[in-house]
Structure 1
Amino acid sequence: MLKINRKTAFLYIIILLSFLNILQTYSNDTVKSTVKDIFIEFTLKKNQDNRKNALQLSYHIGLKRYLDWVTISSQDSISSLLGSIDPSNLVTSYSIESESFSAEKYSALITVNFDIKKVEKLLKKKNIKYFAGNGPEILVLPLMSYNNQLILWDDPNPWYQSWIERPIDGNLTDFVIPDGDLEDLIIINAEDTRNLNFQKIKNISMKYDVKKVLVPFLKIDEVDGKISYLLRCFDGLSKETINIEIVKESENKGFNVVMFDILNSFTSLYDDYWVHDNLKKMESQFVIEANIIYESFKDWIFIKDIIKNSNNINSFKVSNLTTKEAYVKIRIINENKFMAELEKNNLNIKKNNNLWNIIKYY
């Protein structure tokens, strides 16, 4: 009888658990269904359940904010939709983060969790296009120019400060704000940022472990007491101009008020940009089934990482996994580029309609 010592048995268990963990991890899409930081405040009403009223109001505000994130519908369309439904039917849970009563007022900060399947069913029924996937972590370098003087890390930079004070859960995209510490100052300065210096921007992206960097460049000019604001945005690594432009003028409003207005407008427009871009990808993509063959666990990790990190696919789900092969479903955006990417990494592809066999060659 074959005997297996404890060390070998333990190794087999670790490998099996690793495979099971991978199977679970890459079989789920990441979608956002929680809205935080819903601030409610109103005058207390006698003989009424004020907390219940606050929750109902938070459901309405939260769903409106959520639909604004995941669709490209107008505010009027969203308001019309909300007027025809009871938002509480789409809520799975809530939490009151803080709450206070005074002699006359009630205020609370509330988090609401929505049932994503019910929301999707509603949007499909109303024939509203949507995309609820979380965006990637994006490092933001808030560059400002005041009367042609570039400001990034200098104090004060009210544009940078606005990003710091912005609510963390504002949108689908997870914006990462740099620390602005000595190391950041050494890595990149305002002039490098304005010139979209690839190596400097790459270096700071590596510090914050992100793959995408945005440079929202706010140009401010003051002439005869009138202040004009122009916001344009650039992809720091590809140097592409993001199709978002915001123009404002003010005479009496302070910097902070206008900048928060611009920031809120920008993050909302970037949500639309993110959703619209993914809707276009979804319309052009198709699903294939693939059998991936490998010799070792190390080879599987290598192949899995190549596919999972590709910009030419939308999703990657593992249906079945063994020590020698994996059966997966891949939603492809660009077939030619994806195949070229696999071949560049020594992966051989044999196609039979929508069934692919992928194997590493040496």
Structure 2
Amino acid sequence: MIERRFPGLRMAGPGPFGAAVLALALLLWARPAAAAGFPSAYVVADVPVDATAQSAVQAREAARLDGERRAFRQLLERLTQKGDWQRLPQPSDDTIVNLIQDFEVKDEHSSSVRYLASYTYRFSPNGVRKLLHEAHLTVTELASKPVVIVPLLRTGDTARLWDDPNPWRAAWGAANGRSGLVPWVLPTGDLADMSVLDAPAAGKPAPEQLQALAQHYGGGDVVVATAAPGGDGLEVTVARYSPDGSADPVTVQVPGAKADTALYAAGVVAAEKALEDKWKQLTFGGGEQESILSVTVPITSAADWGAVRERLSKIPFVRGEQVDLFGHSEVHIRLRVRGSADLLKIGFAQQDLVFTPGQPTATLALKTPVSAAQPASAAPVSAGQ
């Protein structure tokens, strides 16, 4: 996706320093970029399969085919607008298999006639893009920066957050937060978390509480996911808070006769879908037209430039880049991009890049320069990560 070209590259800075800068620039471009993480938008996690047949082998094959079909349909619906779902392609089973890059299996159980398991699939981004492009469908694949999930359980007048038992929190802990358009992390509920936020405050958290949780887990926004069981199922409300404390809550109903593990798991799926739907509303409409964006990148070290390059490689609407000027304090580049200025700003922000439109050049800066970043302490990771 990234074009490593530098015809016409100009060197800023005189004498030996300029020569050293140019040599470093060429070295950085000659080296392979750091391997970008697999796009979470193309991961479909925790697909349950259950099939019965005349033999265990036949049951497993039937379950596998069913899982692949459902996972692929889920992926296509995730990447497209609801109004286009009737026009989604329906490829053969062989085509779907060829689009699966790899998969993971867990919780396998089988008998002589039955097979149960949970599958996580990683689909080929290029292959899926091509299929949807040929169907003339608009696609969104820009993933949000991971959000921090705060599972709040309300039963009657009681609210539970970090204390046990909390089956709602347990359901999030059993799920996979690394996939989808809105990946998430789950706090461990340690003493530090308890000191930042308690159950009463979770209903309307203060900006400083949100910032503390986000910084602790290296995520983006904080999402308070509230579940309230009732006689007809589970009422789930997800509120994604921006750093200033504003939110636009969404409430969904999850039907069920009993507040058991299965109902809470279904509530997690419903909450994830609500988050993705809101994110799609924000990131759709960028258009397919490509344009050239002239950008100035302030840097304080070669490490800054390396970090910018790596982050650009993870943004799907950046289709190519070319360096025009490499200086000791800034780099001038041209980006080949797709999308509106608003979409660009949102996308860059997911990689902690601050985008400021401007004429004739825009500015793209690291939110925190590498040299100024403090050594990251290992954040605790929950069982759901």
TM-score strictly above 0.5: yes
Decide whether the 8 Å contact of 1:228 with 1:249 is kept in 2: yes
How far is 1:25 from its partner? 5.6
**Bigger radius of gyration:** 1
The Cα offsets for residues 21-57 of structure 1, whole Å up to 9 and x where unpaired, read as: 8984699994633434444332243698665544433
Asked whether 1:259 is paired with 2:264, we answer yes
Decide whether the 8 Å contact of 1:143 with 1:217 is kept in 2: yes
| Paired positions, count | 326
Partner of 2:69: 60
- Relative to 1, partners in 2 of residues 1:169 and 1:211: Cα closer, same or farther, differing over 3 Å? closer
Within 1, Cα distance between the matches of 2:52 and 2:44? 24
Unmatched 5+ stretches in structure 2: 1-16, 346-353, 366-385
Decide whether the 8 Å contact of 1:286 with 1:333 is kept in 2: no
Decide whether the 8 Å contact of 1:131 with 1:279 is kept in 2: yes
- Relative to 1, partners in 2 of residues 1:187 and 1:240: Cα closer, same or farther, differing over 3 Å? closer
Partner of 1:33: 42
- Relative to 1, partners in 2 of residues 1:359 and 1:47: Cα closer, same or farther, differing over 3 Å? closer
Within 2, Cα distance between the matches of 1:28 and 1:322? 28
Decide whether the 8 Å contact of 2:237 with 2:250 is kept in 1: yes
Within 1, Cα distance between the matches of 2:234 and 2:59? 42
Partner of 1:301: 304
Letter in 1 for 2:105: E
Within 2, Cα distance between the matches of 1:21 and 1:153? 49
316-325 or 181-190, which deviates more: 316-325
Within 1, Cα distance between the matches of 2:44 and 2:233? 33
The Cα offsets for residues 230-259 of structure 1, whole Å up to 9 and x where unpaired, read as: 333223334333352113576x41243433
Asked whether 1:97 is paired with 2:101, we answer no
Note the 1:1-362 alignment, pairs <5 A.
15-16=24-25, 19-20=28-29, 24=33, 30=39, 32-45=41-54, 52-73=61-82, 77=86, 81-82=89-90, 85-90=91-96, 91=98, 92-95=100-103, 97=105, 101-168=110-177, 171-220=180-229, 226=231, 229-236=234-241, 237-242=243-248, 244-247=250-253, 252-280=257-285, 282-283=286-287, 287-290=291-294, 292=296, 298=301, 301=304, 315=318, 318-320=321-323, 323-324=326-327, 325-329=331-335, 331=337, 333-334=340-341, 350-351=359-360, 356=361
The residue matched to 1:171 in structure 2 has which SS?
coil
Scaled by the length of structure 2, the TM-score of the pair is 0.67
The Cα offsets for residues 149-208 of structure 1, whole Å up to 9 and x where unpaired, read as: 332112222222221122445633211110011111112112222222111121111111
- Relative to 1, partners in 2 of residues 1:297 and 1:41: Cα closer, same or farther, differing over 3 Å? same
- Relative to 1, partners in 2 of residues 1:286 and 1:246: Cα closer, same or farther, differing over 3 Å? same
Within 2, Cα distance between the matches of 1:28 and 1:258? 32
- Relative to 1, partners in 2 of residues 1:18 and 1:166: Cα closer, same or farther, differing over 3 Å? farther
Within 2, Cα distance between the matches of 1:47 and 1:263? 31
Within 1, Cα distance between the matches of 2:37 and 2:190? 37
How far is 1:290 from its partner? 1.4
- Identity level (%): 14
131-140 or 103-112, which deviates more: 103-112
Within 2, Cα distance between the matches of 1:31 and 1:93? 13
The Cα offsets for residues 258-315 of structure 1, whole Å up to 9 and x where unpaired, read as: 33332222212222222232113x1499744315377x7538938986xx79xxx965
Within 1, Cα distance between the matches of 2:284 and 2:303? 31
Decide whether the 8 Å contact of 1:29 with 1:133 is kept in 2: no
44-53 or 121-130, which deviates more: 44-53
Decide whether the 8 Å contact of 2:28 with 2:306 is kept in 1: no
Within 2, Cα distance between the matches of 1:348 and 1:166? 39
Within 2, Cα distance between the matches of 1:230 and 1:46? 41
Unmatched 5+ stretches in structure 1: 1-7, 339-344
Decide whether the 8 Å contact of 1:96 with 1:108 is kept in 2: no
Within 2, Cα distance between the matches of 1:357 and 1:271? 29
Letter in 1 for 2:252: I
